[in-house]
Amino acid sequence: MSSLVKVQEQDQSLATLPQDDLTIARNALASGLLPESIETPQQAVLIIAKGREIGIKPMASFKHLYVIKNQVGMDSALITYLYMRRGHSLMPVERSATKCSIRFTNRNGASYTHTLTLDEVTQAGWNQYTKDGKTVTKAQWLKMPEVMLYYRTLTTGIRMVDPGCLLGAMSDDELMDVDPVDNATTIEGEVTDIDMDETPAGSEPTIQQPTPNAGFTTWPEPKKRMFWAKMSKAGLKEDAAHAEFGVASMNNWLYSTDQTRPVLEVLEFSPDITIDEKKRMLGIGALRDIVRFGWTVEDCKATINDAIEAAK
């Protein structure tokens, strides 16, 4: 087929698309700010249309929806938002690199605890793919098994307790199982990671490591007092703060004051929004995830603002 015929067919397919959506799609693509996974106006329009179905605006759709194999997938933050928008809630019960449990409570008060283990994930083949006849572990699962297991438990649990909130869409990790990504290579039978920057849009962030010898026990006393003052102002008593940071005592918190600062600023941002609502908008189970994922204050504020705008 000649290139001229291809261009003519593309122009004809574009002519059938909603022109308002097409204008938004073209402008968004021209801006260069869209994820690399969105390559054509047709894909952008498809994402806009799917976003409209679930009640979010185009820019939020571009951020949280992905096209893989001509299917639209949602990221974990959007799936959590859609689930909790229907009046449900969730709470992590156990998190580790080998086992995760999340308690899902529907708006009527009924609860269900969904548990997933790394062995079950491996048995299902969700963390692997086949390359040149060899079984290869995906790079994301090698680098951050606890995070990947948490989000897989989250999405499979929501699909089990309230599949209607997803309107038939798959999560981005489910779509990647359909279309395995070549994100690891094997050398003499061993799995070797490649640059995580080459993994597809929608991959979960790398875990931020604590600054050595800069944990809570080394914080200056004024910083410690400020921390507890902000916890109190946010309505978090000592036990609740420990739960949010995933520690039995803040003396076990290994991150520095600079690394922890985004959490404190997020607590003060939009004080009329509850902590649980902010966590829902960010798609996290606890405040510690802000630090562990290395999110900046600007990242968190932009995501919360996007969620507020999408809900209007």
Q: What is the pLDDT of residues 159-190, one digit of tens each?
A: 888 877 776 565 555 555 544 443 332 222 22
On whether both 106 and 191 belong to a single domain, the answer is: yes
On whether both 131 and 230 belong to a single domain, the answer is: no
The answer to the question of residue 205 being in a domain is no
The answer to the question of residue 156 being in a domain is yes
Q: Which of 198, 225, 254 is the last residue of a domain?
A: 198
The answer to the question of residue 125 being in a domain is yes
Q: How many domains does the chain have?
A: 3
Q: State the residue for tokens 């204050």.
A: 297
The answer to the question of residue 2 being in a domain is no
On whether both 190 and 81 belong to a single domain, the answer is: yes
On whether both 33 and 117 belong to a single domain, the answer is: no
Residue 183 lies in domain: 77-198
Residues 6+ apart with CB under 8 A from 230: 264, 267, 268
Q: Across the strands, what pairs with 100?
A: 95, 116
On whether both 106 and 32 belong to a single domain, the answer is: no
Q: Mean pLDDT, the chain, as a whole number?
A: 76
On whether both 37 and 93 belong to a single domain, the answer is: no
**CA–CA distance from 260 to each of 150, 251, 263, 285, 299 (Å)?**
21, 14, 6, 16, 14
On whether both 29 and 127 belong to a single domain, the answer is: no
Q: Give 45-92 pLDDT, tens digit per residue.
A: 888 888 887 777 887 788 788 776 667 778 877 888 888 878 888 888
The answer to the question of residue 71 being in a domain is no
Q: Which of 66, 96, 121 is the last residue of a domain?
A: 66
Give the end-to-end CA distance of the chain in Å, rounded to a whole number.
46
The answer to the question of residue 233 being in a domain is yes
Residue 5 banded pLDDT, cuts 50, 70, 90: very low
The answer to the question of residue 11 being in a domain is no
The answer to the question of residue 9 being in a domain is no
On whether both 224 and 306 belong to a single domain, the answer is: yes
On whether both 154 and 107 belong to a single domain, the answer is: yes
On whether both 119 and 176 belong to a single domain, the answer is: yes
On whether both 108 and 150 belong to a single domain, the answer is: yes
On whether both 45 and 95 belong to a single domain, the answer is: no
Q: Does residue 288 carry a pLDDT above 90?
A: no
Supply the pLDDT for residue 193: 29
Supply the pLDDT for residue 168: 59
Residue 134's Cβ-side half-sphere holds a number of Cα atoms within 13 Å equal to: 13
3-state secondary structure of 272: coil
Q: Give 102-123 pLDDT, tens digit per residue.
A: 989 888 888 899 999 999 999 9
